Amino acid sequence: MRVLLVEDDEDLSGRIAAVLRSENFVVDIARNGEDALHAGLTELFDVAILDLGLPKIDGVSVLKDWREGDRNLPVLVLTARDGWPDKVSSFKAGADDFLAKPFKVEELVLRLRALVRRAAGHAASRLVCGALTFDAQLGTFELDGLPLKLTALEWRVLSCLMLRKEMIVDRRELTERVYDGDAEVDSNSIEVIIARLRKKLGADRIETVRGRGYMLTAAVAP
């Protein structure tokens, strides 16, 4: 899951990013509204955390421009302001959730996971694909009822496939959602991760759709 974190407080953004990365999120940070606007319009994210009081362009204006540019990623507004008018202006601009400072980062993580899950069309937090289950709120996988041990990269790929189970996920999209923007990525890195997942899940659970991408399926060949 790739997050755009828009927060001008360097210490706070660093603390939030560290926790999110420990929870297997990929985090890109923008510290002013101008950079946030550009990133949101040109790059692929699963969710955004957006502060209102930003340098250059305020958060509400950034959000309005994202929505006018047909960027439909879920947005959680994060601000020190707790007044009703700020909430109203944020939601009118297209916000999906609102969290006032100070806050517990654990709550932020839960809210982000819920936003990503609902944006993918899943109301329930527990997703099932054959013998594989994913608790999208806790971030845990089970296979045949037993906990599934995954590396951070494997978790990111599998969660992306699980949220779009039985649908083809483009290889480029997987790459963007799995790696930090400044990471050095080998051309066959996604294929390597998919191969490792097939060893853990069974070779038939992840299909390669030639020229398009990958699909997680409940069907397993006899």
pLDDT in tens, 96-110: 999 988 889 999 999
Could you give the strand order of the β-sheet that contains 146-147, starting from the edge strand earlier in sequence?
A: 126-129, 132-135, 140-143, 146-147
User: Of 91, 119, 147, which marks where a domain is finished?
Assistant: 119
Strand-pairing partners, residue 126, are 135
Q: What is the pLDDT of residue 82?
A: 62
Could you tell me if residue 221 is inside a domain? no
**The predicted structure's pLDDT at residue 96:** 95
pLDDT at 221: 52
pLDDT score recorded for residue 159: 95
d(CA 72, CA 19): 25
Is 35 contained in some domain? yes
Backbone angles phi, psi at 100, to 5 degrees: -95, 145
Positions of the chain with pLDDT lower than 70, given as ranges: 81-83, 180-187, 219-222
Residues 50 and 150 in one domain: no
Task: Indicate the residue among 77, 100, 119 that finishes a domain.
Answer: 119
| Same domain flag for 30 and 138 | no
Residue matched to tokens 């069974």: 202
Which pLDDT score is estimated for 88?
A: 87
Give yes or no: residues 147 and 105 share one domain: no
In a domain, 68, yes or no: yes
Q: Can you list the positions of beta strands (E) in 15-115? A: 26-30, 47-51, 75-79, 97-100
Q: How far apart are CA 111 and CA 40, in angstroms?
A: 20
pLDDT at 135: 94
For residue 51, the domain's CATH number is: 3.40.50.2300
pLDDT for the residue numbered 179: 80
**Omega before 222 cis (within 30°)?**
no
% of the chain at pLDDT higher than 90: 72
Domain count, the chain: 2
Both 136 and 79 in one domain: the answer is no
User: Which one of 119, 147, 169 terminates a domain?
Assistant: 119
Find the domain containing 96 and state its range. Answer: 2-119
| Closest by Cα among 99, 73, 21 to 62 | 73
Q: Are the C-beta atoms of 52 and 81 separated by less than 8 Å?
A: yes
- pLDDT value for 203: 87
Closest CA to 44 of 212, 166, 173: 173
Burial of 47 (0-12, 13-18, 19+ CB in 10 A): buried
